[in-house]
Structure 1
Amino acid sequence: MDEFQLHFQPKFDVRNNRIVGYEILLRNKEQNPYYPAVKMENIIHNKEEHKSFLVWFQEELVQLLKSFPTVQFSINFAPKQLFYPETHIFFTNMQSYAKQLIIEITEDAPLFAASIEPIDSLTFDKKFHSIFASIKAKGYCIALDDVGSGMNSLDEVLKYVPYLDQIKFSIVKCAKKDLNEETLHLFLNAWQQFSEGYHLGFIVEGIEDQATSDELKEQGILIQQGYYFGKPSKSIKKCC
């Protein structure tokens, strides 16, 4: 896994311009690093390569968490990864750091593509409930990434609300769907109200300018993430 490195993007509380944590993002080691999507897709679909990746990832994380014991980090897992036993061994091995970690479940897998073997919807739901319950029992927080997209539709979010601590909404991903500004804000407001109704943390990412940040702050959306606050970087500052 020598071709990978970890980058970090800050999450800001705009009430006091304070960093409240970082999302850990995987990057390659090219001059202009980017997420190695094809490589990771191959790793995720190969059990042995995925096992090796988790060993590397665990070593990197332990070193990081020991260096920054008061900082909270989010780490991303695709749904398919949750069906590998090795992933839950990883969660067990990292359990002593659970309070520092938020497990973000990405939206990038269709419902049934997530499982290792073909299963019906009822069996899938039972299995996923069991997976989420196991992660929660180990003391981790769980977040759903990019709600309203891919696997993380409203129907799916509702199924797993009892296990969730946070949901994240991406302005950038919605903008790419060619929504007009009014529709985008209605969609955003709906998810904000959803998070408040179910007592979930709500993070909006994709903030690229002060005007957008200020507008969201006026709406009561206080935890924000995006290039306006900082691009993914190899270095971090301690949260204050």
Structure 2
Amino acid sequence: MQPQIDVRTQSIFGYELLLKQWTEAGWRVPASFLQVDLAVMSWLLVATTKILGLKVQYVSVNVNREQLMDTQMVQAILQSQKQLYPAKLTVELTEETSTKTFADTAVIPQLRRFVEHGMQVSLDDVGTGNNDYQSIRDFLPLASEMKFALQNFRVGIQDPQIQEKLRVWHAISREYDQRLILEGIETADGAALSDRFGIPLRQGYYYGKPELLRLAGDPLDFTQLTS
């Protein structure tokens, strides 16, 4: 899990749950989340949220469209929100490629169901890949949050085009009264950019690296994730 920081209060307001697996090279992101059994992901989500319920305001979980439409995963998400209350589970809709195709008209009712059960919806990686305005505009009325990822841009963050994209998405977030989290902040330059745009909600190595969360049955020597 990685902390999300509100610099106005200098406090952690949420955690994003990050799935990693142990390899000979250490803890690494799976080559494809589609290779991870949904039953395992569902169990991990329920076990993790049971621990985090009273720690923060929000706990975020990344979900692609295929996972979003899976009955077992949906039940795990609903159970997790019950465990987290009064904190909220934030479902981050990612653009990760799925083995199946789901139209927006199928996805929207599922997102609405989550909102009706007290959860929030986040639109991940806006402004990059397939997540342009036209692609996600039908989801905007349901979303409470958007995330703009600096790490998705290979050129430096001082590039005028990146800053113009950030300006546009910042304006969209205000139009829809949504939180905007600037993620992938790894240096003081990224923090300064956030200051310049007046974005207080931030995530990245500059503010906190991901940490392992020890679950029941895990070895006692679990340590913080360092790679």
TM superposition score category, shorter chain reference:
0.7 to 0.9
- Give 2:150's match in structure 1, choosing from 171, 184, 200: 171
Q: Give the distance between the partners of 1:71 and 1:197, measured in 2 at CA.
A: 23
Q: Which one has more relative contact order, counting CA pairs under 8 Å at least 6 apart?
A: 1
Q: What's the counterpart of residue 73 of structure 1?
A: 59
- Give 2:6's match in structure 1, choosing from 4, 13, 30: 13
Q: TM-score, normalised by structure 2?
A: 0.83
Counterparts of 1:94-109 in structure 2, within 5 Å, are 94-96=80-82, 97=84, 99-109=87-97
Kindly indicate whether the alpha-carbon contact (under 8 Å) linking 1:109 and 1:151 is maintained by their aligned counterparts in 2: no
- Cα displacement (A) at 1:69: 4.5
- Cα displacement (A) at 1:207: 0.7
Q: What's the counterpart of residue 188 of structure 1?
A: 166
Counterparts of 1:109-124 in structure 2, within 5 Å, are 109=97, 113-115=100-102, 124=103
- Cα displacement (A) at 1:90: 1.7
Counterparts of 1:148-159 in structure 2, within 5 Å, are 148-159=127-138
Kindly indicate whether the alpha-carbon contact (under 8 Å) linking 2:65 and 2:107 is maintained by their aligned counterparts in 1: no
- Give 1:27's match in structure 2, choosing from 20, 42, 46: 20
* Structure 2 counterpart of 1:127, one-letter code: A
How many correspondences in the alignment? 211
What is the identity percentage for the equivalent residue pairs of Structure 1 and Structure 2?
A: 25
Q: Give the distance between the partners of 1:218 and 1:177, measured in 2 at CA.
A: 19
Q: Give the distance between the partners of 1:17 and 1:93, measured in 2 at CA.
A: 30
Q: TM-score, normalised by structure 1?
A: 0.79
- Cα displacement (A) at 1:211: 2.6
- What is the root-mean-square deviation in Å for CA atoms of aligned residues? 2.4
Q: What's the counterpart of residue 219 of structure 1?
A: 197
* Structure 2 counterpart of 1:203, one-letter code: I
Deviation per residue, 1:35-57 (Å, 9 max, x gap): 1133x2223xxxxx313431343
Q: What's the counterpart of residue 70 of structure 2?
A: 84
Moved more, 201-210 or 180-189: 180-189
Q: Which runs of 4+ in 1 moved over 4 A?
A: 177-180
- Cα displacement (A) at 1:167: 0.3
Is structure 2 residue 191 aligned with structure 1 residue 198?
no
The structure-2 alpha-carbon separation of the partners of 1:61 and 1:177, relative to structure 1 and needing over 3 Å to count, comes to: same
- Give 1:59's match in structure 2, choosing from 47, 72, 94: 47
Kindly indicate whether the alpha-carbon contact (under 8 Å) linking 1:109 and 1:150 is maintained by their aligned counterparts in 2: no
Q: Give the distance between the partners of 1:81 and 1:54, measured in 2 at CA.
A: 10
The structure-2 alpha-carbon separation of the partners of 1:107 and 1:140, relative to structure 1 and needing over 3 Å to count, comes to: same
* Structure 2 counterpart of 1:182, one-letter code: P
Q: Give the distance between the partners of 1:161 and 1:61, measured in 2 at CA.
A: 26
Kindly indicate whether the alpha-carbon contact (under 8 Å) linking 1:14 and 1:217 is maintained by their aligned counterparts in 2: no
Q: Give the distance between the partners of 1:224 and 1:180, measured in 2 at CA.
A: 18
Deviation per residue, 1:52-100 (Å, 9 max, x gap): 43134323332x235x444521111111111212222223322312533
- Cα displacement (A) at 1:181: 0.4
User: Gaps (5+ residues) in structure 2?
Assistant: 215-227
User: Gaps (5+ residues) in structure 1?
Assistant: 1-7, 44-48, 116-123
Is structure 2 residue 72 aligned with structure 1 residue 93?
no
Q: Give the distance between the partners of 1:17 and 1:29, measured in 2 at CA.
A: 32
Q: Give the distance between the partners of 2:175 and 2:124, measured in 1 at CA.
A: 18
